[in-house]
Structure 1
Amino acid sequence: MEQEYTDISFEGKDGVGRKTDVPWSRFYSKSRSKSATQGWYVVYLFPTHGNGIYVCLAHGSSRLENGSFVPRSNDELKQLTDWGSAVIASSIKSRPDIVKSINLESKLKLAQSYEKSVIAAKYYDLTNLPSLEELTQDACLFAGLLGQLYFGEDMGRAPDQEDIVVSDVKSASHGKGVGQGFKLTGPERKAIELRAMQVAQEHLITLGYEVEDVSNKESYDFKATKKGSSIPVEVKGTTSSIGTVVLTRNEVELHMQSYPNNMLIVVSDINLHRSTTTPIATGGNLRQYFPWKIDDSLLKVISYEYNLI
């Protein structure tokens, strides 16, 4: 089930006055890549020799600072491209014509930074251009890969993003919107929660526990019983990878008191499909912490309650 992205736009540049060393043309999401220095997009790059063209999946490789384009650091680009490469790896593994690096044959730093930002590309020799049908199929392929990256960002999985569930709670506390405009609705939050509960319950049953859902009356989610002994189980769902979860004061107090007879289950990488009338959550990777000892040094206050006199 794929998300739909409808704000796709196109632009291209070959410089003003003196022509640029590497002309380009790209298509992108207007909300996710407001300029060629930001976000992921599909770009056609023309090497300096002028004998061919690359179609590339790439990230903005520079920043505009004081009127000049400054390349992003190697570390920042590597972090972004490592993540992006992992997202699309399975989709291009059977395509030997798709390469992971390019050579624009330019000595300019800006063009070299373009090369470092590419995670997938295909080269066309101008003396042997493919048919319009093949060019269109390749454009659709790269658009699909781009969609995978946008979906990953929607789920808060990119290395420069905060988990959308955590961001949503913070925005509610501070009265601000979530980054990139992907604020969760009530049904979306519920879909993530229910998917995490389903995956966790199935896991507990395979471990031999009798499982009772007590989330509506207790400060934890499941009462798991085995051989006459019961433990409280906290379940957290997230669309991103393992990182940060949100805990209430009651949850913290209960599990501090229950340790070492307590458990935390985190279901990460849940896929939230928003293009349907009712949000649907699927997938998820489970990690179990048993017993779960809460480390005070890892707790961070999101908001305070203040009583006015």
Structure 2
Amino acid sequence: MIEITNPLTKKSGQGFGGLSAPDRKRVELRAMELGSAWLTTRGYRVRDTSASNPYDFEAEKGEERVKIEVKGTTSNLCDAILMTRNEVELHRIEKGQTALFIVYGIKISGLGDSRIASGGTLEVLWAWEIDSCVVEPTAYRVQLLRHRI
């Protein structure tokens, strides 16, 4: 089921709750599948840019071009997500030309290599303004400065 929901609705955070790396990848791919379907049913041409850019899709329709970040979670609701520094910078620099798709409630089922991700509810934040959110660091890179002799 895909729906557009109110971004101000009370939700919980993006979480993988101890999912294995393969299951996290399944969740990510399911979220991207739902996001791509939403765009194509609205007449957008979708290009997957996730391997080479700080956003997952570039969608075009006529003169409109939008860069889209997709986040997926197995949590039933979501009001906080994790983003890289590059993702945050992109949404700040290109305000009004980006979107955020959040897919929550994705289910993982099956055994071993045959596990699959299914379901999920899509929340679309079109022309998303990241500065309307609280953005706070959750990790730091600490580089040791060593004196050389």
Tell whether the structures are fold-level matches, with TM greater than 0.5.
yes
Mapped to 2, the partners of 1:256 and 1:184 lie a distance apart of 30
Residue 230 (1) aligns with residue 69 (2): no
Residue 194 (1) aligns with residue 45 (2): no
Match of 2:6 in 1: none
Residue 247 (1) aligns with residue 98 (2): no
Higher relative helix content: 1
Unaligned 5+ runs, structure 1: 1-158, 166-181
Mapped to 2, the partners of 1:296 and 1:263 lie a distance apart of 13
Residue 303 (1) aligns with residue 139 (2): yes
Match of 1:90 in 2: none
Higher relative contact order (CA 8 A, sep 6+): 2
- Structure 1 runs of 4+ off > 6 angstroms? none
Match of 1:215 in 2: 50
Match of 1:256 in 2: 92
Q: Provide closer, same or farther for how the CA distance between residues 164 and 242 of structure 1 changes in structure 2, counting only shifts above 3 A.
A: closer
Match of 1:94 in 2: none
Match of 1:286 in 2: 122
Q: Provide closer, same or farther for how the CA distance between residues 297 and 197 of structure 1 changes in structure 2, counting only shifts above 3 A.
A: closer
Aligned partner (choices 154, 159, 164) of residue 15 of structure 2: 164
Mapped to 1, the partners of 2:14 and 2:69 lie a distance apart of 19
Residue type of the alignment partner of 2:105: D
Residue type of the alignment partner of 2:39: L
Q: Provide closer, same or farther for how the CA distance between residues 212 and 299 of structure 1 changes in structure 2, counting only shifts above 3 A.
A: same
Q: Provide closer, same or farther for how the CA distance between residues 269 and 296 of structure 1 changes in structure 2, counting only shifts above 3 A.
A: same
Q: Provide closer, same or farther for how the CA distance between residues 308 and 185 of structure 1 changes in structure 2, counting only shifts above 3 A.
A: same
Cα deviation for residue 297 of structure 1 reads 5.5
Deviations 1:176-225 (A, max 9, x none): xxxxxx52211011000000000000000111100000100111000100
Q: Percent identity?
A: 37
Deviations 1:29-56 (A, max 9, x none): xxxxxxxxxxxxxxxxxxxxxxxxxxxx
Aligned residues of 2:13 and 2:81 also touching (Cα < 8 A) = no
Cα deviation for residue 229 of structure 1 reads 2.7
Deviations 1:91-140 (A, max 9, x none): xxxxxxxxxxxxxxxxxxxxxxxxxxxxxxxxxxxxxxxxxxxxxxxxxx
Compare CA radii of gyration and give the structure with the larger one: 1
Q: Provide closer, same or farther for how the CA distance between residues 243 and 212 of structure 1 changes in structure 2, counting only shifts above 3 A.
A: same
Unaligned 5+ runs, structure 2: 1-10
Q: What is the TM-score with the length of structure 1 in the denominator?
A: 0.41
Cα deviation for residue 295 of structure 1 reads 2.6
Aligned partner (choices 72, 96, 108) of residue 272 of structure 1: 108
Cα RMSD (Å): 1.8
Q: Give the SS at the match of 1:298.
A: coil
Mapped to 2, the partners of 1:291 and 1:268 lie a distance apart of 20
Residue type of the alignment partner of 2:74: T
Q: Give the SS at the match of 2:22.
A: helix
Match of 1:19 in 2: none
Aligned residues of 2:66 and 2:98 also touching (Cα < 8 A) = yes
